[in-house]
Amino acid sequence: MREWGLSIGLLPPGPLNAITDVEGVTVGHVTLISGEGSLISGKGPVRTGVTAIVPHCGNIFKEKLIASCFVGNGFGKSAGLVQVKELGTLETPIILTNTLSVGTAVDALIEYMLSSNDDIGITTGTVNPVVLECNDGHLNDIRGRHVKKEHVFSAISGAKKTFETGSVGAGTGMICHGFKGGIGTSSRRIEIDATAYTVGALLLTNYGRMEDLIFNGKNVGRILKEEIRGRERVGEKDEGSCIVVIATDAPLDAHGLERVAKRGILGLARTGSFMGNGSGDIAVAFSTANRIYHYGRPVIEVNTISPHSEDINKIFQAAVEAVEEAVWDSMFTAERIVGRDYHEAPLLPVERFLELVRER
């Protein structure tokens, strides 16, 4: 959207305006598109995929990161959140996919972690795979469960600093506020005590009604819906979910990261989300500033920004702004996807949208 001269918020973005502006974080996709026409359950058409967020380049099981999560509305089938909340650590990459492929992704992520950690389940405990999902069944043959283990492996191994957004990876079959959505990302730079930090967000957007869509406080969705109605199918319900992943290099403990995750939900609200009854709106936040060594000493020291410092407000603001812009990134970069039974979601009409937001 910044290429069209639009920006959100007051804080500056990082150089890539992406979650990977946080040093060490990489992202990989596998996009699965095959077949066309009428649905043949179990065979296609296929419009789905996998997205992997790798928090650092080391062995994350042995060098865990501090993390937490927040559930805005719990209509979701995610895995691993209970332990993340309980222990306050993240020990695997984060995998995003469709709802009915969570089991496959969990199995693949466990196998991936076992392959590089001979001790898991033998001389130490098991592993907590984190997999999050949204339902892409309107465009995809979701019952076919076309995501396989090798797709998860490829998404992880292919993770890099620069990556595509929009109708890719787990976002291939997703719909946001009635328009084609998918993967979106953004980042913000802040300074605390003369040290620069980055807050980055990556979203899997699959939520909201068109008439609720808001840009900088202006309801543009209602106008766009009236103009599109009659020419294209426009959904009436708030169905689906949104997964929010927030990364930062600012030092925070688990409680602080839970508070940051909560602000991710505020970013969704600024776009018009009210977290509908059937929506799974879940945020996970992690910090790369401290490593929790699996075989470390029983008493550890970690650096963290004091919850009594007003500077923590900078991180909260950065999280809200990055999440809000990531929603728009998912729509601005989306490409046309014609799904099963010729279903499709209209692309955001960018030029008309620009006219609306610039009107006085």
What pLDDT, in 10s, does the model give residues 282-315?
999 999 999 999 998 999 999 999 999 999 999 9
> What is the per-residue pLDDT for 253?
97
Joined together, the tokens standing for residue 299 give 């008493």
Half-sphere exposure of 178 (CA within 13 A, CB side): 25
Structural tokens at position 329: 């990134």
Which residue ranges of the chain lie beneath pLDDT 50?
A: none
Rounded CA-CA distance 183/173 in Å is: 10
Does an H or E element contain 292, and which?
Answer: strand 278-293
Residue of 186, 241, 287, 330 marked active site: 241
Buried/exposed code over 314-353 (b: 16+ C-beta within 10 A; e: otherwise): bbbbbbbbbbbbbbbbbbbbbeebebbeebbbbbbeeeeb
Please state, in angstroms and rounded to a whole number, the distance separating the CA atoms of residues 65 and 63: 7
Tell me how far apart the alpha carbons of residues 99 and 94 are, in angstroms, rounded to a whole number.
15
Per residue in 173-228, pLDDT (tens digit) is 999 999 999 999 999 999 999 999 999 999 999 999 999 999 999 999 999 999 98
What pLDDT score was predicted for residue 122? 98
Contact 140, 167 (CB under 8 A): no
Residue 184: the pLDDT is 98
Give the up-direction half-sphere exposure of residue 93: CA atoms within 13 A in the CB hemisphere.
Answer: 33
Which domains does the chain possess? 2-294+304-347 (3.60.70.12)
SS3 319: helix
Q: Residue 123: which residues within 8 A CB-CB, separation 6 or more?
A: none
Catalytic annotation on 241? yes
Q: How far apart are CA 273 and CA 88, in angstroms?
A: 28
Quote the percentage of the chain above a pLDDT of 70: 97
Q: Which pLDDT belongs to residue 238?
A: 64
Cis-peptide, bond into residue 129, ω within 30° of zero: no
Q: What pLDDT, on a 0 to 100 scale, did the predictor assign at position 229? A: 77
186 belongs to the catalytic site? no
Q: What pLDDT does 359 receive? A: 87
Choosing from 279, 287, 329, 330, the catalytic residue is 279
Q: Which of 141, 238, 249, 281 is catalytic?
A: 281
Q: Within 13 A of 86's CA, how many CA atoms are on the CB side?
A: 5
Which residue in 342, 186, 170 sits closest to 240, CA to CA? 170
Instruction: Say whether 167 is catalytic.
Output: no
- The span from the CA of 352 to the CA of 315, in Å, is 33
CA dist 266 and 269 (Å) reads 5
Closest residue by Cα to residue 108 from 159, 152, 75: 152
Q: 159 to each of 93, 109, 219, 220, 356, how far by Cα in Å?
A: 10, 14, 36, 35, 37
